[in-house]
Structure 1
Amino acid sequence: MNMIAGFGKRCSVWLAIMGLFTSFCNAQINPVGIEKVDSLLAQHAKPILILLSTDWCQYCRMQKNQLRKNKDFAKKADLFYYVEFDAESKDDILFQGKSYTFKPTGKNTGTHELARTLNGPGTLAFPSWVLLDRNYQVLFRHGGVLTPVQLKKLLDAIGGMNP
């Protein structure tokens, strides 16, 4: 009986350590709020990788889930600010010194002005990716899910930018 109890205690300790390690790894890719980007850039300039998404978008959820499991993304997360922006957010947002608001398009629908601005001309698809340099210049836009190969190329390009 004691051997089984000892084994159970060791397993509990091991599971607790694994839980802490998993939390630590996931903490590395937690997105920053878009409203914080201006002040973060003022402290430490680096590129901004923005995922435009919505709550109802299944592909957005799939992409976010893939990111959480992507080891390259976690390893390179300190090279850029990662932002997940809800394109249907009702919050007023100050970004790059300009105020952006939600614009209704129907009774219960609409899009945030900032999502449209970041998306650029054309149809706003979800998910959409936007990479800005430290001066807010658009370096990359992509409407749709990034495959693991595409994401790796994007991360490699971000890694190659001058600090």
Structure 2
Amino acid sequence: MHNLFLQVAETGQVYPGPEPETGSLTQQGNYQFVGDDGSTYQFVFATLVVAAAAAPQNYNANQFVKSGLPEIRILSQRFDQDPNTGNYEYSYEQDNGQAAAETGQVYPGPQPETGSLTQQGSYQFVGDDGNTYQVSYVADEGGYQPQGAHLPVAPAQIPEYEQLRIEHPELFWAEQQQYV
């Protein structure tokens, strides 16, 4: 067991500057203690801190926010998540016609930190042409699958491909996989 003798002496002075948030601070003092070997040690210090906050003349905090576009307001927003499963739902709507809603379903895997997530939702926005576009989607092991009246549709199956599927089903083994 070591007996430690500690003596501290410290003083400081604040000197306000000519403008708000400017000025300086001085501190001085010493620490004196007795070490394990019985010797007395002393540290003497002095510090000077000068601080100034500068802002350009005629500074306007909102000057960098303005974009020339009208301000968009949030009409509604919601986010709910089940802390036990991780499943969630969210939605929002803005006054410019943009809206989104999504649900997420978590499927735990056999090992910790594994599994999958299925997301299903929709969103809408007003395009530059003034039309409102709507997209609904599913995102899962099959990828992102959007649907909307304005989106292109995949071409119909070509006959040669269908014939290949009939004659060589082993080439299409991945289509037979079941995801759990």
TM-score range, shorter chain: under 0.3
Report the TM-score, using the length of structure 1 for normalisation.
Answer: 0.22
Indicate the structure with greater strand content. Answer: 2
Indicate the structure with greater helix content. Answer: 1
**Bigger Rg over Cα:** 2
Q: More relative contact order in 1 or in 2 (CA 8 Å, sep 6+)?
A: 1
